[in-house]
Amino acid sequence: MLFYDCSTAPNPRRARMFIAEKGLQIETRDISIAKGEQLGDAFKAVNPNATLPVLVTDEGTVLAENLGIAAYLETRFPAPPLMGRTPDEKGLVLMWNSIVEHQGGLPIAETLRNTHPAFANRAIPGPENHAQIPELAQRGAARVGHFFDLLETRLAESPYLAGPEFTLADITAFVFVDFARVIKRRIPQENSATLAWFETVAARASAQL
Amino acid sequence: MLFYDCSTAPNPRRARMFIAEKGLQIETRDISIAKGEQLGDAFKAVNPNATLPVLVTDEGTVLAENLGIAAYLETRFPAPPLMGRTPDEKGLVLMWNSIVEHQGGLPIAETLRNTHPAFANRAIPGPENHAQIPELAQRGAARVGHFFDLLETRLAESPYLAGPEFTLADITAFVFVDFARVIKRRIPQENSATLAWFETVAARASAQL
């Protein structure tokens, strides 16, 4: 296997944490988004969509997208399970992963990419350029507040997002919550359940990477 | 099981097709988004996020989000497989599903919800109101063109998105491509591989629902 990573970006970090939680050592190449290496011919020959992370399997399949990589690794290396055991658990993991991607990951990315000068004309990842839309950043900032509410409601009733066990959904949420520092957003002080969950996840070895 | 559907919206249609492809008959309640029933107290007691589709399992778990419902049904009713058999296939299905959601579903929804008067102040699904952003609709329309290119490139080399078999990724793509009619977008006439794929999927019994 060969893993294409980027040490500074949140989506590759999700895959990196998943790989570490599985206890796997995978040969890794770091692609610098800061230098625009993901848009170079060498990387686009691997992934024409110019997104990271990417995992090339031993069978030669090129898997982009976190869920593609996670589904492959979970099936090939089932222990420890990170995507649930029973049908209900598997449903809850992908449900919470989707909710976090749409309600958290997207608005955080929208806020950053539509304001920060580093993303001028790069408001969306991928090979096409798109101008920034300042109104979208404002909307994103409002939605991030709702995302923190949503996490607190869930984590006040459940130790982890999908239930009693740490799963992929927690990796996704942890990485996005941590990344929200780039838009100067932190877990609100009164959100005690989320703060406790964050501290627990942040202490895992996989979170140090 | 109990399935909360909405006959007019694309996301519930994805779950409806998945259920039909599994050959399942599930008790169904239709929630009218046109009448705003998803925002009423009765439905929000089921799903506080006010999104459709929802599947309540026999164990009483409330699963929202298409991927949550699909993961549950695929595990409980493995035949016919709609999310791949081998690790590589499972990876490719979720990879293509993610690509289609982000590159197709999102820009189509953005174009519709940020222009159509029916979505004034409802630019994002869920319990919170958000104003329309006309620039986002323009960007969405441009991205839909890129999505059609992306589909054509893939379907010129593979009969279905994730490989030789029909899967969840094709359901997602078919429903969004078909729904693009609401923003007056059709598969370009020269995209012969996509047109052939669309006709094949449209002929399935599950596509008639």
Q: Do B108 and B139 reside in the same domain of the chain? A: yes
pLDDT > 90: percent of chain A: 90
Chain A neighbors of B133, CB-CB under 8 A: 133, 135-136, 139
B81 falls within a domain: no
Rounded-to-integer distance, Cα B58 and Cα B55, Å: 10
B82 falls within a domain: no
Question: Tens digit of pLDDT for each residue in A137-188?
Answer: 899 999 999 999 999 999 999 999 999 999 999 999 999 999 999 999 999 9
CATH code, domain with A106 = 1.20.1050.10
What pLDDT does residue A176 have? 98
What pLDDT does residue A90 have? 98
CA of A164 to nearest chain B CA: how many angstroms apart?
14
Last residue of some domain: A76, A108, A127?
A: A76
- Which residues, other chains included, contact A54 with Cβ-Cβ below 8 Å and sequence gap of 6+? A3, A4, A46, A47, A62, A63, A64, A69
Q: Do A9 and A35 reside in the same domain of the chain? A: yes
Q: Do B100 and B166 reside in the same domain of the chain? A: yes
- Which residues, other chains included, contact A125 with Cβ-Cβ below 8 Å and sequence gap of 6+? A50, A51
**What's the pTM value of the predicted model, to 2 decimals?**
0.97
Question: Tens digit of pLDDT for each residue in A122-140?
Answer: 999 888 899 999 999 899 9
What pLDDT does residue B43 have? 96
Last residue of some domain: A19, A45, A76?
A: A76
Dig out the tokens for B164 from the structure.
């030789």
CB–CB of B61 and A92 under 8 A?
Answer: yes
Q: Do A29 and A96 reside in the same domain of the chain? A: no
Rounded-to-integer distance, Cα B209 and Cα B204, Å: 10
Cβ–Cβ under 8 Å, residues A92 and B68: yes
Which residues of chain B fall short of a pLDDT of 50?
Answer: none
Size of interface A-B (CB pairs under 8 A): 138
Q: Do B69 and B92 reside in the same domain of the chain? A: no
B151 falls within a domain: yes
CA torsion sign for B208, B105, B192, B84 is negative
B204 touches chain A (CB under 8 A): no
B37 falls within a domain: yes
CB–CB of A135 and B133 under 8 A?
Answer: yes
Q: Do A97 and A53 reside in the same domain of the chain? A: no
Most B CBs within 10 A among A46, A65, A157, hence the mutation to make, goes to: A65
Distances (CA, A) of B10 to A117, A205, B27, B31, B155: 36, 41, 19, 13, 22
A58 falls within a domain: yes
Question: Tens digit of pLDDT for each residue in B56-74?
Answer: 999 999 999 999 999 999 9
Cβ–Cβ under 8 Å, residues B133 and A133: yes
Q: Is the pLDDT of residue A196 over 90?
A: yes
Tell me the pLDDT band of A89, cut-offs 50, 70 and 90.
very high
Query: Which residue in chain B has the smallest CA separation from A169?
Result: B68
Q: Is the pLDDT of residue A20 over 90?
A: yes
Cβ–Cβ under 8 Å, residues B125 and B64: no
CB–CB of A95 and B130 under 8 A?
Answer: no
Chain B neighbors of A69, CB-CB under 8 A: 91, 95
Q: Do A100 and A47 reside in the same domain of the chain? A: no
A59 touches chain B (CB under 8 A): yes
Q: Do B116 and B179 reside in the same domain of the chain? A: yes
Chain B neighbors of A57, CB-CB under 8 A: 87-88, 91
Domain that includes residue A165, residue range: 87-204
β-partners of residue B62 are B56
Over residues A68-79, the mean pLDDT reads 98
Q: Do B71 and B105 reside in the same domain of the chain? A: no
CB–CB of B72 and A65 under 8 A?
Answer: no
Last residue of some domain: A25, A52, A76?
A: A76
CB–CB of A49 and B133 under 8 A?
Answer: no
Chain B neighbors of A64, CB-CB under 8 A: 95, 99
B209 falls within a domain: no
Overall number of domains in chain A: 2
Tell me the pLDDT band of A105, cut-offs 50, 70 and 90.
very high
A47 falls within a domain: yes
What pLDDT does residue A125 have? 87
A81 falls within a domain: no
11-50 in chain B: CB under 8 A from chain A: 48-49
Q: Do A186 and A107 reside in the same domain of the chain? A: yes
What was the ipTM of the complex prediction? 0.96
Q: Do B132 and B192 reside in the same domain of the chain? A: yes
Cβ–Cβ under 8 Å, residues B84 and B162: yes
What pLDDT does residue B48 have? 92
What pLDDT does residue B126 have? 85
Please tell me whether residue A29 adopts helix, strand or coil conformation: strand
CATH code, domain with A52 = 3.40.30.10
Q: Do A110 and A179 reside in the same domain of the chain? A: yes
137-156 in chain B: CB under 8 A from chain A: 139, 142-143, 146, 150, 153
Mean pLDDT for chain A overall: 96
